[in-house]
């Protein structure tokens, strides 16, 4: 089964009709005959989606929707309310209560299945993001990203520029967000430097029939607008193209002539979802960065460095090219720590790390292995290039005058061991043993030197 759906209707025939349609599409169905039963089943069974009639005796669908959305246990369940064709008041009340979508009676099967697919897809994405967020939280990473937040923006793209402007005039009094309007070409010209819209509202027909669907596909294919929410506006009753729009990735649909209050609520809903998704994505990005980065120096950590070394070694084996690994140790670092304290020691490590990174080629990588040890990985480098780079690292650190925390300065030096990777020498364990031996030799022969393994 591809999803668990709770059907709520006080009329048994209606429940059975929906059950047949959904079961034929391989969805698991649960049925409830009133609001109280629906709330109990929602908490106990945790369905992926609820299809619920608005007009029921006792507790109405609107009341149940509001209660479920306010309950942390059930707030993530997607809800589609079923209303009479022209029950605009119920539609507005349902949207305000948190309903994710509406269907009108008689329920069109194509529209029903398209909405179900779209909402279940959104539910899966939200669950995946929350699962990853929870994992990062357990690992001790920040629960919320510190990434900068921009002002929310909405862009209206009707079939003509004049129509887009008219949409804006209808929505201006309803929205508290920045609303722009333009053509499809304007939307496609957006770059990362622009205030990229969080939500696009697009007419299904642009200069040609279905031009809005093609525009949506273009926006989805671009990194700049890939995560923007998209609402497609269709002619009234065009359920077939509504289904196509949802299956192609539209987040929501509306119909002309749209009611400005309803469309405004739909836009606000998409803005809220986009904000949550952006926050989760940014948190994940920050978490991933923390997972592979040394918190003191900002360099990649040992975990990442070892994986990168493996990739470079594999590349040497596959392409027959050479590469180099340089193990780096700060000489007598314990003495520095003992003399000036760990705060000064930490600052020295930061300065050393920054100098190492600045002294390498763009394609090279330096990681902090632990303590005062670093590893530089140089893809496609000859032994002579590796020797020159290692010497540059040594002399660059030797000349630094580092604050000692007491008004004076301290100098440190490096010992460096170099080993080569090649098609014949690509075993990681052997490479690490070789570069460690070279580093040991550099330290044993007076430090502040570079030794290349034989």
Residues marked active site are found at 372
Which SS3 state, helix, strand or coil, does residue 57 take?
A: coil
> Which CA distances in Å does 271 have to 184, 225, 229, 399?
21, 14, 8, 54
What is the DSSP code string of 388-406?
Answer: HHHHHHHHHHHT--EE-SS
3-state secondary structure 180-239: EECCHHHHHCCCCCCCCCCEEEEECCCCCCCHHHHHHHHHHHCCCCCCCEEEEEEECCCH
Q: Which residues have a Cβ under 8 Å from the Cβ of 85 and sit 6 or more positions away?
A: 104, 105
Half-sphere exposure of 232 (CA within 13 A, CB side): 29
CA distance 277 to 124: 12
CA distance 315 to 366: 18
Which SS3 state, helix, strand or coil, does residue 257 take?
A: coil
Q: Which residues have a Cβ under 8 Å from the Cβ of 362 and sit 6 or more positions away?
A: none
Q: Which residues have a Cβ under 8 Å from the Cβ of 303 and sit 6 or more positions away?
A: 291, 292
Strand partners, 420: 324
Phi-psi region of 58 (alpha: psi -120 to 50; beta: other; left: phi over 0): left
CA distance 187 to 142: 34
Nearest in space to 423 (alpha carbons), one of 309, 308, 314, 325: 314
């Amino acid at each position: 089964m591809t999803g668990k759906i709770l059907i709520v209707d006080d009329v048994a025939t209606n429940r059975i009709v929906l059950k047949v349609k959904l079961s034929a599409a391989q969805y698991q169905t649960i049925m409830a005959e009133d609001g109280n039963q629906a709330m109990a089943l929602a908490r106990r069974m945790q369905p992926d989606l609820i299809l619920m009639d608005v007009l029921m005796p006792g507790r109405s669908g609107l009341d149940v929707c509001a209660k479920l959305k306010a309950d942390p246990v059930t707030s993530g369940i997607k809800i589609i309310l079923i209303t009479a064709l022209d029950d605009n008041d119920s539609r507005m009340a349902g949207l305000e209560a948190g309903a994710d979508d509406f269907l009108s009676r008689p329920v069109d099967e194509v529209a029903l299945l398209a909405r179900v697919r779209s909402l279940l897809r959104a539910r899966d994405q939200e669950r995946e993001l929350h699962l990853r967020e929870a994992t990062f939280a357990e690992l001790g990473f920040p629960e919320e990203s510190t990434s900068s937040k921009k002002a929310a923006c909405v862009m209206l793209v009707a079939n003509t520029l004049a129509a887009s402007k008219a949409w804006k005039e209808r929505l201006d009094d309803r929205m508290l967000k920045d609303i722009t309007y333009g053509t499809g070409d304007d939307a496609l010209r957006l770059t990362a430097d622009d205030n990229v819209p969080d939500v696009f509202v697009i007419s299904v027909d642009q200069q040609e029939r279905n031009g809005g669907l093609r525009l949506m596909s273009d926006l989805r294919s671009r990194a700049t607008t890939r995560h923007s929410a998209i609402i497609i506006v269709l002619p009234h009753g065009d359920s077939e193209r509504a289904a196509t729009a949802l299956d192609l990735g539209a987040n929501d649909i509306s119909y002309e002539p749209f009611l400005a209050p309803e469309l405004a609520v739909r836009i606000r809903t998409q803005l809220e979802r986009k904000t949550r998704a952006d926050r989760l994505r940014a948190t994940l990005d920050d978490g991933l960065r923390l997972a592979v980065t040394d918190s003191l120096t900002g360099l990649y950590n040992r975990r990442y460095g070892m994986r990168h070394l493996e990739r470079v070694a594999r590349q040497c084996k596959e392409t027959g090219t050479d590469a180099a690994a340089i193990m780096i140790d700060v000489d007598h670092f314990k003495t520095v720590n003992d003399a000036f304290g760990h705060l000064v020691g930490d600052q020295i490590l930061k300065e050393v790390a920054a100098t190492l990174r600045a002294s390498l080629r763009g394609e090279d990588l330096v990681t902090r292995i632990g303590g005062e040890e670093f590893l530089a990985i140089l893809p496609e480098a000859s032994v002579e290039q590796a020797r020159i780079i290692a010497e540059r690292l040594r002399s660059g650190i030797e000349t630094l005058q580092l604050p000692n925390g007491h008004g004076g300065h301290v100098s440190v030096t490096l010992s460096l061991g170099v080993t080569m990777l090649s098609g014949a020498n690509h075993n990681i364990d052997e490479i690490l043993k070789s570069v460690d031996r070279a580093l040991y030799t550099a330290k044993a022969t007076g430090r502040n030197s570079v030794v290349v393994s034989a």
